[in-house]
Amino acid sequence: MRIVLGSDHAGYELKQAVIEHLAAAGHETSDVGTHSTAPVDYPPFCAAAARAVVRGEADLGIVIGGSGQGEQIAANKVHGVRAALCHDEFTARLSRQHNNANVLALGARILATQLALVIVDTWLATEFEGGRHVARIEELAQIERDECAAGARTGAAGSGSAGSGSAGAGAGPQAT
């Protein structure tokens, strides 16, 4: 399986452990950064991982940060991504069975490495159940389409973002 990974500085060390674990299991990995523990902002790395999944460059993605919350949010901003923040095997399993999650978010400051690897293995081994869940996945996709259309009609694409600093799209990672 082709798996793309992205992290911020807080998730870097866990990401390295996950990459080693995945490689040992025979998976192909791609690391979109960051590549050190130097402070960076997570959105560009999580978006890059999410975009790789949507483009078909990877089958699934994993994003890792301190809590995983922001990483999940950033990945979910990419149209077509269903990112799930998982802290145990149960949520990992359900995120795939019921929600067909295509990106896994992990919190490196919350999970011990061994538990994180168990979560990754559970998530990767779990298949989407389909059935009654298919209609729900389609409803999520319809919400995305409606929101994109509404943004295009109002010219509000990108509005509603937190902060109003000068670091816009393309400004690259910013230190925190």
Residues classed as catalytic: 71, 98
Query: What is the CA 74 to chain-centroid distance, rounded?
Result: 7
The two tokens of residue 138 are: 């389609």
Tell which residue, 33, 34, 105, has the closest CA to residue 64: 105
Query: What is the CA 49 to chain-centroid distance, rounded?
Result: 7
CA 14/CA 118 separation, integer angstroms: 13
Cross-strand pairs, 4: 30, 61
Contacts of residue 4, defined as CB under 8 A and 6 or more positions apart, other chains included, come to: 29, 30, 31, 32, 48, 49, 52, 53, 57, 58, 60, 61, 62
**How many Cα atoms are found within 13 Å in the side-chain-facing hemisphere of 30?**
19
